Amino acid sequence: MNESALDRTARALDLIPFVLENPGLSIEELAQEFATSPKEITKDLNLLFVCGLPGYTPLELIDLSFESGSVSVIEPQSLDRPRKLNRREVISLILGLEGLATLRAEGDQLRSEILRLRDSLITTIETANLQIATHEEFLPPSPFLQVIEEAISGRTDLDLEYLSGNRDERSERRVTPAQLYTENGFIYLIGYCFKSGADRTFRLDRIVKCARSSDPIAAPNTPPNDSQPGTYKALAEEPILEIAHRAKNFLEENAAVLTILSTSPDFTLAQISILDPEWLIRSALGLGGAVSVRSPATLKSQIRDRAQETLDRYNSNSV
């Protein structure tokens, strides 16, 4: 990748004050810090080595040492201070802080500390038009955010009561929580699930109960009983779907597992890779004619049977 002279200039200007305060890092470590390759950092350093103040004698040049494997700045000349934060940088930090604040309930001490810090950052930029605004409802609402967040930071386990969608069952699980993340409007928790004996992802709106475990748990000595997708027999044939344009939500929500084969004015033809056919059968009823299975035929008839069975409830006077 060829990067622009401006990107390199910006990074070189930031590299000197950073190394000045964080001396002794290797080129690889610096590359990681600056999200670039060791090759680019080496180029930056070689370039900085020949830059300096008018006169350009050894006394006026930037002096670095980086041959022994660790980088340090001997003479920064006039580049000893980090550049001021630009607007994007400040806004990104403000938004990140607001996100963290929403993980904590109103009145929480850490939350107020985070919001105070945000307020002091806001004073450093012109806010007449911040252009990017978050909302009190930054994340989808969940009553369990704080308890989960506290369990992650306090390194305690959680006892969850969880609803599994595909199998329509409720299960109790002990989980060592690792991280929260957002995707497509949902919040997910990743953690080690003792019941499954592996890392699992849980959707927060499917958690019915959630509490910090008080008793320590021993590692499971029984083989894990996996009741989440993953143990299903993979489908012999990946289903091909006709997705009408009005089913745009379906396309969005499942973008990661859909491979678009073709698009026409009426529908998108896509292949879906799923582990559990039950998921597709259940989804298809709700989507009506907007998403239909073209193949395989067995799946097609399973969906029809399920639809017929459901419809029968309304035809017979069973109430």
Partner 1 sequence: MSDPKTERLLNLTMALLATKRYLTKIEIFQSVAGYKGTPEAMERMFERDKDDLRSLGIEIEVGNLDNYFEDEQGYRIIPDSYGLDIGEITPRELALLSVAAHSWSEGVLSKSSQSALRKLRSLGISIDTEDLAMGWARFENPQPSFDQLWQGLEETKTLQFKYSSTTLALRTVDAYGLTLWRGFWYLVGFDHERNEIRVFKLIRIIDQVTTIGKSGSYAIPSDFDISNYVTNFTEEKKHQAKLLIRKDKAQILRSEGIVAPHDDQWDQITLSYEYQEAFLRKLLWFGPDVQVLEPTALIDAVIGRLTEVLS
- Using CB under 8 A as the binding rule, the residues of this chain from 212 to 241 that contact partner 1 are none
> Quick check: 309 binds partner 1 (CB under 8 A)?
yes
**Toward partner 1, which CB reaches closer, 112 or 273?**
112
Q: Which residues from 102-131 bind partner 1, rule CB under 8 A?
A: 103, 110, 113-114, 117, 120, 124, 129, 131
The alpha carbons of the chain give a radius of gyration, in whole angstroms, of: 28
Q: Does 86 bind partner 1 (CB under 8 A)?
A: yes
For residue 92, the minimal CB distance to partner 1 (Å) is 4
Name which position in 31, 64, 97, 258 contacts partner 1 (CB under 8 A): 97
Q: Which is nearer to partner 1, 174 or 300 (CB)?
A: 300
Cα separation, 141 vs 164, in Å, equals: 19
Find the binder of partner 1 among 179, 259, 273, 301 (CB under 8 A). 179
Three-state helix/strand/coil letters over 169-206? EEEEEEEEEEEEEEECCEEEEEEEECCCCEEEEEEHHH
Q: In Å, how far are 83, 226, 241, 255 from 294, measured between CA atoms?
A: 58, 31, 6, 19
Residue 58: name the closest of 69, 50, 70, 66 by CA.
50
Q: Which stretch binds partner 1 (CB under 8 A): 90-98, 210-218, 227-235, 269-277?
A: 90-98
Number of neighbours of residue 87 by Cβ within 10 angstroms: 12
Nearer to partner 1, 6 or 219 (CB): 6
Q: Any idea of the CA torsion for 15, 17, 22, 27, to the nearest 10 degrees? A: 20
- Among the listed ranges 14-22, 63-71, 217-225, 227-235, the one in contact with partner 1 (CB under 8 A) is 14-22
Q: Which of 140, 143, 220, 224 binds partner 1 (CB under 8 A)?
A: 140
| Residue 216 Cβ vs partner 1, minimum distance, rounded to whole Å | 19
Q: Decide if residue 77 touches partner 1 (CB under 8 A).
A: yes
The C-alpha atoms of residue 72 and residue 64 are separated, in whole angstroms, by: 6
Q: How far is the CB of 141 from partner 1 (least distance, A)?
A: 7
Q: Cα-flanking dihedrals φ and ψ of residue 145, to 5°?
A: -55, -50
Sole binder of partner 1 in the list 1, 57, 68, 84 (CB under 8 A): 84
Q: How far is CA 171 from the centre of its chain?
A: 25
* Closest separation in Å from C-beta 223 to partner 1: 25
CB nearer partner 1, residue 67 or residue 314: 314
- Segment 246 to 305, residues that bind partner 1, using CB under 8 A: 246, 248, 252, 281-289, 292, 303-304
Q: Which is nearer to partner 1, 106 or 309 (CB)?
A: 309
- Other CB atoms within a 10 A radius of the CB of residue 187 amount to 21
**Looking at beta carbons only, is 47 or 240 nearer to partner 1?**
47
199 binds partner 1 (CB under 8 A): no
| Matching residue, tokens 């990140």 | 96
Strands 70-75 and 63-65: antiparallel
Cis peptide before 23 (omega within 30 of 0): no
Q: How many CA atoms lie within 13 A of 232 on its CB side?
A: 14
Residue 71 binds partner 1, judged by CB under 8 A: no
Kindly state the number of chain residues that form the binding site for partner 1, as judged by CB under 8 A: 121
Q: Which two tokens stand for residue 24?
A: 């002794």
Site for partner 1 in 28-67 (CB under 8 A): 33-35, 43, 47-48, 50-56
Q: 210, 213, 214: which is closest to 143 by C-alpha?
A: 210
Residue 165 Cβ, how far from partner 1 at the closest point, in Å? Answer: 7
